[in-house]
Amino acid sequence: MAEVWTIAETHNGLLKEVSFELLARGRALADELEVPLASVVLASHTREGELERLAAYGADIIYVAEDERFASFTVHSHAAVLLPLVRDHGPQIILAAATTTGRTLLPYLAVKLGCGLTADCTSLAIEEGTGNLLQIRPAIGGNIMATIKSPDHRPQMATIRPRSTPLGTMDTTRRATIIRVDPPSLSTDPVEVLGVRPFRDQQTSIEDARTVVSGGKGLKKRENFTLIEQLATALGGEVGASRDAVDRGWATYPHQVGLSGKTISPELYIAIGISGAIQHLAGIKTAKRIVVINNDDEANILDIADVAIIGDLFAIIPVLLRRLNERRKTQ
């Protein structure tokens, strides 16, 4: 029976969390279709025990290609392995993460394989009767949910928004069949990786953060933006910013949240001095909890917030920082 595949992502030999989120999605689909679930790993190397973790989270089969050139992503080196592998095994579904890697690799593969692809899905289901994959994604700035399918083309492909899937239960007694794949020689990758420069401010990217504290125009000037940084630190989170704040140079582009920046799904999102332009709201709709601190009780952002404190943010944040600090000391 045609398999369901997930494309795992690694960094320095370790699997990224999103690889397991994809397995949770894939497991549900494979169970419903009663077919095997496979995970594909392209890495420079995999550390001891990593492949076993894929099995524990639901993979029945693991295809592994290890090669130095996979240390850093190029679409051509990945496609050179995946295209023949897909043609040989004919999976019916391929899921990848909606990361810079997944969102580059899958559209490239989809054209090469002549099949359909849905970007940035937030939920998946199997259509009754046909077995088609129903791919559900937010569209038009997150204001509508569209259900999309590819009835006549295989594999059906989708990218899944990171952090939109709770992990499945880990079962360390589960075993998977590991299939080693020889990476074909690719002497002509048009892209050569020269190196990776980590972010200067040591941040982890806001897409991966559990907590994001964002500031907007209401901060009034650059110096005040340190309040956002202090609160983010106090909460163990990362700093985000509205487009206004980035355009004014208070924060850099990697911090920008919204339609022209990052779409994020943290467990806690705190929006401070952000009125909530539709572009911004579209970027945070899938956050689990949204807290607002704003002086305007009619701000758009309240429409999608869970809790709001209405008042002067310059009075509120110092109190919040003090109380968080006191609380920590008493624990």
Partner 1 sequence: MHIIVPIKQVPQSSDVKMDPVTGTMIRSGRSSTLNPLDLYALEAAFRLTEAHGGSVTVVTMGPDSAANILKEALSMGAERAIHLTDRPFGGSDTYATSYVLSRAIEKIGSYDLVITGERATDGDTAQVGPGIAAWLDLGLVTYVSSIEEATSTHLVAERLVEEGYQRVQVALPALLTVVKEIAIPRLPTLKGKKRAMASTIERWDAEAIEADRSRIGLKGSPTRVVKIETPKVARSCTIYHADGDEATLAAVDHLIDLLEEQQLLKEVHHG
Window 272 to 331, contacts with partner 1 (CB under 8 A): 277-279, 281, 289-292, 297, 300, 302-312, 315-316, 319-320, 323-324, 327-328, 331
Smallest gap from Cβ 33 to partner 1, in A, equals 18
- Exposed/middle/buried for 179, CB within 10 Å: 0-12, 13-18, 19+? middle
**Tokens 């690799």 — which residue?**
105
Residue closer to partner 1, measured from CB, 8 or 109: 109
Interface with partner 1, residue 1, by CB under 8 A:
no
Give CA–CA dist 29/203, Å, rounded.
35
Query: In Å, what is the CA distance from 268 to each residue of 31, 172, 208, 225?
Result: 32, 31, 12, 19
Window 97 to 156, contacts with partner 1 (CB under 8 A): 99-101, 103-104, 106-112, 114-120, 134, 138-141, 143-153
Residue closer to partner 1, measured from CB, 220 or 289: 289
Smallest gap from Cβ 244 to partner 1, in A, equals 13
Please state the length of the chain: 331
Give CA–CA dist 256/239, Å, rounded.
9
Residue closer to partner 1, measured from CB, 177 or 191: 191
Helix (H) or strand (E) holding 49: none
> Quick one: which segment of 46-54, 84-92, 178-186, 199-207 binds partner 1 (CB under 8 A)?
199-207
> Quick one: which segment of 39-47, 165-173, 190-198, 213-221 binds partner 1 (CB under 8 A)?
190-198
Residue closer to partner 1, measured from CB, 6 or 118: 118
Site mask, partner 1, residues 56-95, x = CB under 8 A?
Answer: ----------------xxxxx-------------------
Helix (H) or strand (E) holding 254: none
Number of residues that bind partner 1 (CB under 8 A): 100
Q: Which of 75, 53, 61, 67 is nearest to 2 (CA)?
A: 61
Residue closer to partner 1, measured from CB, 55 or 281: 281
Window 29 to 58, contacts with partner 1 (CB under 8 A): none
Smallest gap from Cβ 81 to partner 1, in A, equals 16
Q: Tell whether omega for the bond before 155 is within 30 degrees of 0, i.e. cis.
A: yes
Query: In Å, what is the CA distance from 78 to each residue of 84, 117, 181, 202, 286?
Result: 11, 17, 12, 28, 30
End-to-end distance of the chain based on CA atoms, in angstroms?
A: 55
> Quick one: which segment of 37-45, 57-65, 168-176, 256-264 binds partner 1 (CB under 8 A)?
256-264
